[in-house]
Structure 1
Amino acid sequence: MRAKDANAIPIPRFLEREGVKPASVRNGGREVWYSSPIRSGDSSPSFKVDTVLNVWYDHGLAQGGTLIDLVCELKSVTVSEALAILDATGLGVQTQKRTDAPRLFKPSKSPDATPAAGLAGEKEKQQGSGETSAFEILSVRDVRHPALLDYLKARAIDPIIGCTVLKEVSFTPKSGIGRFFALGFPCGEGYDARSAIFKGFVGTGKDISIVAGTGDAENDERAVSVFEGFMDYLSLLTLRRTNALQEDAIILHSAALKRRAVTAIQAGKYTKVSLYLDHDDAGRATTKFLIAETTRDNASDASGFYAGYKDVNERLIAITKERRI
């Protein structure tokens, strides 16, 4: 095997074969982090693989390189011996059609499903951020996997509410490192996805999400609540013990989409706008922006509801822990 061919083998695929599992996936799938396989005692994963450049870097050693360099370090061998090892794995001749995956995630075998009814990104000629993720959706189904149900429990979300609103989304990185799954909330033409180790957008055309409330449309007051992320929306549903709010809801998914929210609020002709954004610099800045831009819509900061906590979900988790004591 030539060095060029060897270094073209995705590093995560080689590590998977070696039994090394990823600790987290970040930056839209570009970064995969591990506890270092070339040194012991790395309790806080600091070994990063860039799946686009296909290189690695160990922050603990301040050292990195190509796949060949990694094999040399991992096996304590020469370059020629590393090439022989990689040649013997057969990874160099595999294609994108391989079906095995990192054990950290398990691929779904069910057919694709459509997004939940009643949730859709507010569309205009300019589709939100227009973001296209580094992942391709493989399938969408009802939430079933125990790991995802455990994640809902860890976030203190009522599982019945969570499973009513969310989907289990299976997806694959375009870099070909395997298959993954996570909880998905309909967002644009894809999903805002979350799991214990993954946070990112999967699909195309990232946008805000608008959920119709159950209130009487003929009522004089048209209200909407605005959330930064869908976990905060689900948290309020859990606290109110309902599958849907009486008022409409807008989930930003990203503070960068705040102007999209302004457009939706103005188009909805709301008479009351409640802002449930994070208690951090970005959240406060977004709150200030939305209040300034929607003065005619009576926008107000509702974050006093979770004073002392970063967001609605953090307060929900605290309340849940208190109830268990």
Structure 2
Amino acid sequence: MNCRQFNRISLEEVLLSLGHLPTKQNEKEAWYLNPFASESQASFKFNKSLNIWYLHSEGIGGNNIDFMKKYLNASIKDVLEWGEKQNFSSFHQQNIIQKQNSLQPNYKITEIKELQNEHLKNYLEQRGLSPNVYPFVKEIHFKTGDKNLYAVGFQNQSGGWELRNSFYKGAILKKDISIINLNENNSSKIDNGNGKIKTGNVAVFEGFIDALSFVEMQKSYKGNLLVMNSIALLNKTKEHLKDYSEISLFLDNDPAGLKCKNEILQSFPNAKDYSEIYENHKDFNEYLTDIKNDVSKAGSLIVQKVPNVYKKRGR
């Protein structure tokens, strides 16, 4: 994705993905509460035909790049990397801008089954993951256009799927968070939205590969894992975090992850950040694969659960 492509995405869709809805709108424009700060009267104006914004309360405006640079407090490079991770319909050249619950899919799921494909198992192995994580995923076969594809699938609370294989990263059906419960019997259960599964403590991750990496290393952890599946779901994540007395954050070490982490820390005094454990790595999975690729580190770099604290040992 380049700047021109990102700026052609509807800002309305970008705002929706970040959880911001207009307070009023017509065919030409929409008004929002300030996305960068709290306010009681909408001062953020979006011009639909020009796809530009203007914030009257601060006297600034611009295009999508300008907006996300300020929103993430990040560089253009970081903004484009963030945009690559999203599933914006207008970036994929669809004719109709994605509206909430109205996206017409250009794919079809043909089969959902237990993980069997050796290529997918090898993919997980390359990410440092063993058969211990197989109960948390499925093997998804789907068709997009005239292509038949298959991938490791991780379900969210709305029945949508995050998909990964060696050459594909995407999502199908509705985007949502996922919650994994690791119960007293050390078995697994994912809340699909039909019923609330809550415990006193929760560990938060951006992506499911990071969450599964935590499962791989934390054999004795009891509690919930919340997978955001996109930092665009931060507001929804914060709603769910209200149910927990202990919140442990394992977010990515990039500008988007830092902004997300800081928002959660400001909103929840009981939240604790554990990114120091993998401070020299992009994310938790990179930390795990580094350990597994260097056997000499395996005895000294290990995440250990002790009362209310995650810590590194032997550094």
Fold match (TM-score > 0.5): yes
% of aligned pairs identical?
A: 27
**Residue aligned with 2:155, SS:** strand
Q: Is residue 133–residue 215 contact of structure 2 (8 Å, CA) maintained in 1? A: no
Structure 2: any 5+ residue segments left out of the alignment?
1-83, 186-198, 298-315
Query: Aligned pair 1:225/2:203, yes or no?
Result: yes
Q: Is residue 230–residue 251 contact of structure 1 (8 Å, CA) maintained in 2? A: yes
- 1:287–1:131 distance in 2 versus 1, CA, 3 Å: farther
Q: Is residue 250–residue 275 contact of structure 2 (8 Å, CA) maintained in 1? A: yes
CA distance in 1, matches of 2:286, 2:172: 25
Aligned residues: 194
CA distance in 1, matches of 2:227, 2:85: 21
1:281 counterpart residue number = 255
1:165 counterpart residue number = 136
Which whole-Å deviations, capped at 9, do the CAs of 1:162-217 have from their partners, x for residues lacking one? 321110001112xx2221110000122221010011111112x211011223259x
- 1:136–1:26 distance in 2 versus 1, CA, 3 Å: farther
Letter in 2 for 1:162: V
CA distance in 1, matches of 2:240, 2:88: 30
Which of 168, 171, 180 is the equivalent residue of 1:198? 168
Map 1:122-161 → 2, pairs under 5 A: 130=101, 132=103, 134-158=106-130, 160-161=131-132
**Residue aligned with 1:189, SS:** coil
CA distance in 1, matches of 2:238, 2:86: 27
Q: Which has the higher contact order (CA 8 A, sep 6+)?
A: 1
Letter in 2 for 1:305: I
1:306 counterpart residue number = 278
Structure 1: any 5+ residue segments left out of the alignment?
1-24, 32-49, 54-128
CA distance in 2, matches of 1:26, 1:312: 17
CA distance in 2, matches of 1:222, 1:26: 31
Which whole-Å deviations, capped at 9, do the CAs of 1:6-54 have from their partners, x for residues lacking one? xxxxxxxxxxxxxxxxxxx9985989xxxxxxxxxxxxxxxxxx7869x
Q: CA RMSD of the aligned region, Å?
A: 2.8
Q: Is residue 212–residue 248 contact of structure 1 (8 Å, CA) maintained in 2? A: yes
1:317 counterpart residue number = 289
CA distance in 2, matches of 1:153, 1:131: 37
Q: Is residue 278–residue 284 contact of structure 1 (8 Å, CA) maintained in 2? A: yes
Map 1:177-188 → 2, pairs under 5 A: 177-187=146-156, 188=158
Q: TM-score, normalised by structure 1?
A: 0.54
Letter in 2 for 1:304: E
CA distance in 2, matches of 1:157, 1:262: 28
